[in-house]
């Protein structure tokens, strides 16, 4: 028994000795595994993320991006609703820039250089976006219509200066939910009907700031907002459906300016969920169904644009984008006598609108 006990004790000692001897090697193995895991994690973080593959751009009129004008300096296109003006991180949707290679071929067509497709070097204040040099102004994703692109660095500089100095003229067409009603002035925000001598329409002077409660949206901020000016011209009103047809001159270029100013007039852009959370879905479920209005499509269209041409001594460039199918269908249904050329529409006063 004593011998057995001694043998067992010796075995325990041997096992303990072996375990102690193996401990450093286990520690080394664990350390090596941790190092390899850390190296793999760093390699994964440093590996460039694959660029999202652009989806095929879809145009409501044809299989290619419609071109309104092109020459050696500029391209003017008719952007479909639902298309981004340019790519943005985290969104793999097709952008207008992605679709340029397959644009409609018209007189003056020529390839856009790689230089103009590179991101702009100057700070943009938008870390999540890579803005190509050809993009000198933008339209919201849900907005359709005329958009101008620069083909050369000289055109980029000239057009950028024109937009900053507001020597451009832009007019939009919109359907509004409700009859526009200028509110009483609040601080520095006001809206008034202009006399005919001033061209008529409702002049809105309402500074806009970022909406802290709803990120990504603008709100009238008379105290701390940036100056924002728009002129709403009244063309028709359907009392039964409570829908107004307007054109809007954009005198400044703030985020969602027309949409925020329309809401300020108590007549938000039709089907605009962001600025009419209850009425937007309701419009799509009624009239919107008849015209195929999709979610994320406020009924707003950049109809015409006039800009100084970047070529020396060239006359101003003027382009017009015809009404898109969804808005054209609604105009024909609600006001069949008007036709589809906004230039021929009558202009009404607020008192005339109230009689309809």
Sorting pLDDT into bands at 50, 70 and 90, what band is 123? low
Whole-number percent of the chain with pLDDT over 70: 79
Query: What number of other Cβ atoms are within 10 A of residue 234's Cβ?
Result: 25
352 pLDDT band (50/70/90 cuts)?
A: very high
| The pLDDT value given to residue 90 | 65
Phi and psi of 159, rounded to 5°?
Answer: -70, -40
Q: How many CA atoms lie within 13 A of 142 on its CB side?
A: 19
Q: In this predicted model, what pLDDT tens digit does every residue of 234-247 receive, in sequence order?
A: 999 999 999 999 99
pLDDT-derived band of residue 18, with 50, 70 and 90 as boundaries?
A: very low
CB 62 within 8 A of CB 104: yes
Contact 306, 168 (CB under 8 A): yes
On the question of pLDDT at 162 being above 50, the answer is yes
Q: Could you tell me the pLDDT band of residue 62, with boundaries at 50, 70 and 90? A: very low
Position 61 scores a pLDDT of: 38
* Total length of the chain: 356
203 bridge partner residues = 192, 231
Which pTM was predicted?
Answer: 0.80
For residues 81 and 115, what is the distance between their CA atoms, to the nearest angstrom? 27
At residue 17, does pLDDT exceed 60? Answer: no
CB 94 within 8 A of CB 81: no
The residues facing 300 across adjacent strands are: 174
- Kindly report the number of other CB atoms within 10 A of residue 161's CB atom: 13
Query: Which residues, at least 6 apart from 78, have a Cβ–Cβ distance to it below 8 Å?
Result: 61, 65, 66, 67, 68, 144, 145, 146, 147, 321, 322
């Amino acid at each position: 028994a004593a011998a057995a006990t001694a043998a067992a004790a010796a075995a325990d000692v041997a096992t303990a000795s072996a375990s102690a001897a193996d401990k450093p090697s286990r520690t080394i193995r664990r350390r090596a595994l941790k190092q390899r895991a850390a190296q793999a994690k760093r390699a994964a973080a440093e590996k460039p993320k694959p660029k999202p593959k652009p989806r095929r751009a879809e145009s409501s009129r044809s299989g290619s991006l419609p071109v309104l004008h092109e020459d050696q300096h500029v391209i003017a296109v008719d952007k479909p609703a639902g298309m981004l003006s340019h790519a943005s991180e985290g969104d793999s949707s097709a952008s207008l820039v992605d679709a340029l290679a397959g644009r409609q071929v018209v007189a003056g067509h020529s390839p856009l250089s790689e230089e103009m497709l590179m991101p702009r070097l100057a700070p943009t204040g938008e870390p999540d976006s890579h803005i190509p040099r050809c993009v000198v102004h933008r339209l919201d994703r849900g907005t359709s219509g005329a958009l101008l692109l620069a083909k050369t660095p000289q055109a980029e500089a000239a057009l950028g200066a024109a937009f900053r100095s507001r020597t451009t003229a832009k007019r939009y067409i919109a359907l509004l939910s409700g009859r526009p009603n200028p509110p009483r002035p609040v601080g520095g925000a006001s809206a008034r009907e202009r006399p005919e001598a001033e061209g008529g329409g409702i002049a809105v002077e309402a500074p806009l700031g970022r909406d802290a409660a709803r990120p990504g949206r603008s709100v009238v901020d008379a105290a701390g907002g940036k100056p924002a000016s728009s002129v709403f011209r009244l063309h028709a009103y359907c009392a039964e459906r409570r829908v107004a047809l307007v054109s809007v001159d954009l005198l400044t270029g703030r985020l969602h300016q027309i949409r925020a100013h329309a809401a300020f007039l108590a007549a938000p852009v039709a089907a605009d969920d962001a600025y009419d959370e209850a009425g937007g879905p309701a419009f799509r479920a009624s009239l919107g169904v008849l015209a195929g209005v999709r979610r994320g499509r406020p009924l707003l269209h950049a109809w015409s644009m006039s800009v100084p041409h970047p070529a020396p001594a060239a006359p101003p460039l003027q382009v017009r984008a015809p009404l898109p199918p969804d808005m054209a269908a609604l105009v024909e249904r609600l006001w069949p006598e008007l036709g589809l050329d906004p230039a021929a529409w009558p202009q009404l006063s607020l008192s005339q609108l109230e009689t309809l």
